[in-house]
Homo-oligomer: A and B are copies of this chain.
Amino acid sequence: MKIGILGSGQLARMITIAAQPLNIATLSISSDPQDRGNGVTPHFIGSFHNEADREAFCTQVDLLTYETENIPLEIVEACRHNKLIKPSSDILRIAQDRLFEKEEFQNLAIPTTEFYPVSSLEEFAQALIKTGYPAILKTRRFGYDGKGQFIVRQPSEMAQAFESLKNSELILEAFVAFDKEVSLIAVRNSTETRFYRLVENIHQSGILRYSKITSDKADLQNQAERYAEHILKKYDYQGVLTIEFFVKENQLIANEMAPRVHNSGHWTFEGSYTSQFENHIRAILDLPLGSCEASHPYVAMFNFIGTLPEKAQLLKLENVSFHDYAKIPKTDRKLGHITLVENDKKQFEMKCLFLEKFIGFNKIY
């Protein structure tokens, strides 16, 4: 059994690592013969934009999945003719466009932020009257880690915002003064759905810095699961689906979704019985899903961005696991993460304080 993965970053890397114990191989595709890929996933040399290469790649694998929603839809649609792709390109079409995504949340009665498509300066001005300030102008597609966004805090910033993003299709979103951000990782095979515990996500400059599983009462978890089920059922979804929510006054407001394994689920490698990566594989192959229960009451995941610390420095902390993505360091690039699991609350809080400082997280930003 061999799974073709579109994309070859750290998510493909971790899917590959999780697939190995099950004796399931993976293959990504790269047009550069010198590409070191992610150091783990083997790759086929060819270009996805070339039909012959794409077909050759597809014949080498049993089915396809993807590690990013930022793949041109026409490429994924073209692959669909050669090979089963899971999750399907129908959900990808929605998830890779902020406008479609928010419209779909509305269709499915999932609360979301106020939003307006923006295709001209006039439309932008009209939309800003409705949202008020601040509001966020975003590209509809290909944004990640806070890229392709502009916070408009006052009318004088309008022109600059539009100028900086005008070459893309845009959406204006009302600013939500949320209490916190959480995400739900759901997984579904053809017959069964399971959910991991909600995690609280802490971002800085648009990039996820760390995640902690929450001790939220059942109502938030239930709300989140109900919303996720609307999407999973509609798309007859197979694989992992991530939904990010704002929490305001104990209500969820859907912000975005990703039809894939997600940074906010990396904790599941050590903090849950079955990792999101293994469950994604089980789901797309329609194998029985594994338990999503947290293995410890306290679990956190901290990202290393831009620089990677010495392993020995962190491994001396009890109950810490280290993941190094084998990447070349670069500003704002995610290079690795650590997971911390604890049974004891005090130990957990002490170590979290240390680790927040260690990763350079600054609460005032």
| Interface residues of A, Cβ cutoff 8 Å to B | 13, 17, 20-23, 25, 39-40, 269-270, 273-274, 282, 287-288, 290-291, 295-296, 311-312, 315-316, 318-319, 321-326, 336, 341
Contacts and interface: CB of A to CB of B under 8 A. Distances in A.
Given A270-B273, A341-B273, A324 B23 contact: yes
Given A273-B319, A319-B273, A341-B273, A324 B21 contact: yes
Contact of A21 (B295, B319, B321): B321
Contact of A290 (B296, B312, B315): B315
A299 to B, nearest CB: 12
A342 to B, nearest CB: 10
A269 B39 CA distance: 22
A196 B59 CA distance: 45
Contacts of A22: 311, 322-324
Nearest to A315: B288
A236 to B, nearest CB: 20
A323 B291 contact: no
A316 B321 CA distance: 28
A315 B324 CA distance: 29
Which 10 A-B pairs have CB atoms at the shortest separation, nearest pair first?
Answer: A23-B324, A288-B316, A288-B315, A23-B326, A21-B323, A17-B20, A287-B312, A287-B315, A20-B40, A291-B318
18 contacts: A17-B17, A17-B21, A20-B39, A20-B40, A21-B269, A21-B321, A21-B323, A22-B322, A23-B39, A23-B325, A273-B341, A274-B321, A287-B311, A288-B312, A288-B315, A288-B316, A290-B321, A295-B296
Contacts of A288: 312, 315-316
Contacts of A318: 291
A315 B283 CA distance: 12
A324 B21 CA distance: 6
